[in-house]
Amino acid sequence: MNQKIALVTGANKGIGLETVRQLAQQNITVLLGARDLARGEVAARELARAGLDVRVLEIDVTKSDSIRQAVAQVERDFGRLDILINNAGVLLHDEDKKISDQPLDVWRKTFETNFFGLIATTQAFLPLLRKSEAGRIVNLSSILGSITYHATPGSPVYDSKVPAYDVSKSAVNAFTVHLAYELKDTRIKVNAAHPGWVKTEMGGQGAVMEIVDGAKTSVALATIGEDGPNGAYLHLGEPIPW
């Protein structure tokens, strides 16, 4: 089977769904990961009607049993995975409280999806990615994960503090660098993507980028060649300071 197999988590809407579309348009078989199977099926059918090879895969990155079942299904159906895009994420914030007073529950729920769920999913699928001729892992980060920018007055995000989300993305960046180092002598490349401030539910009012553009960084990193970056933090091909 020469056609590449990709999995995008959290993909029944927004940037994830558009990422699925753009990958499938490149003749890639794409597994549309969704924790809500019914919503995932609706999204996958819409893309399939457009002639794209998209199939739904039920996966909740916060539940180990769900991840394990998803891995078993991919192994049974395809025997390998070529692309993993860790797109699933949440943005939680108590606007009535200061940074130092954000409830611990907000921190825990944010990290459970954005960080621990990402690691659990990556660990579980890594054996299948090792079977690929050119495995690619893309971790969805954010410019809000840049510690350099947060510490620099006048930077694009200096006055934009959503603490639990921001710190979870900084942690994703650190994990990306560490995993890229481990895999530097393999055929797998690992990178972090900032999609941009995109017009989605999470992006909210004021977002400036269209969804079609918000998916471009993930798609580019998912399809890089052998000479592409490893352990990088990028937006539309440009590096972001850690």
In tens, the pLDDT along 185-229 reads 999 999 999 998 888 777 777 777 798 999 999 999 999 999 999
**Could you count the other beta carbons within 10 Å of the beta carbon of residue 34?**
27
Which two three-digit tokens encode residue 33?
């990961």
pTM assigned to the model:
0.96
CA-closest candidate to residue 133, choices 227, 220, 24, 4: 4
Query: Do the beta carbons of residue 129 and residue 222 sit within 8 Å?
Result: no
Q: How far apart are CA 67 and CA 78, in angstroms?
A: 16
Longest alpha-carbon distance in the chain: 53
Residue range 17-22: average pLDDT?
A: 98
Q: Which of 4, 165, 189, 233 is catalytic?
A: 165
Q: Which of 4, 169, 189, 216 is catalytic?
A: 169
Query: Do the beta carbons of residue 215 and residue 87 sit within 8 Å?
Result: no
Predicted pLDDT of residue 199: 82
pLDDT for 102-158, tens place per residue?
A: 999 999 999 999 999 999 999 999 999 999 999 999 999 999 999 999 999 999 999
Predicted pLDDT of residue 203: 74
- Residues 6 or more apart from 213 whose CB is under 8 A from it? 196, 198
CA contacts within 13 A on the Cβ side of 86? 33
Q: Is 169 a catalytic residue?
A: yes
Query: Do the beta carbons of residue 113 and residue 61 sit within 8 Å?
Result: yes
Q: Is 233 a catalytic residue?
A: no
Does residue 5 carry a pLDDT above 90? yes
Please, which residues bridge with residue 84 across strands? Answer: 7, 137
Give me the number of domains the chain comprises. 1
CA-closest candidate to residue 8, choices 168, 202, 201, 221: 221
Phi, psi at residue 176, to the nearest 5°?
-55, -45
Task: Please report, rounded to a whole number, the percentage of residues in the chain having pLDDT higher than 90.
Answer: 93
Which range of residues forms the domain containing residue 213? 5-239
DSSP the chain: --S-EEEESS-SSHHHHHHHHHHHTTT-EEEEEESSHHHHHHHHHHHHHTT--EEEEE--TT-HHHHHHHHHHHHHHTS--SEEEE--------TTS-GGG--HHHHHHHHIIIIIIHHHHHHHHHHHHTTSSS-EEEEE--GGG-HHHHTSTTSTTTT---HHHHHHHHHHHHHHHHHHHHTTTSS-EEEEE---SBSSTTT-TT--B-HHHHTHHHHHHHT--TTS-SS-EEETTEE---
Residue 1: pLDDT band by 50, 70, 90 thresholds? low
CATH number for 62:
3.40.50.720
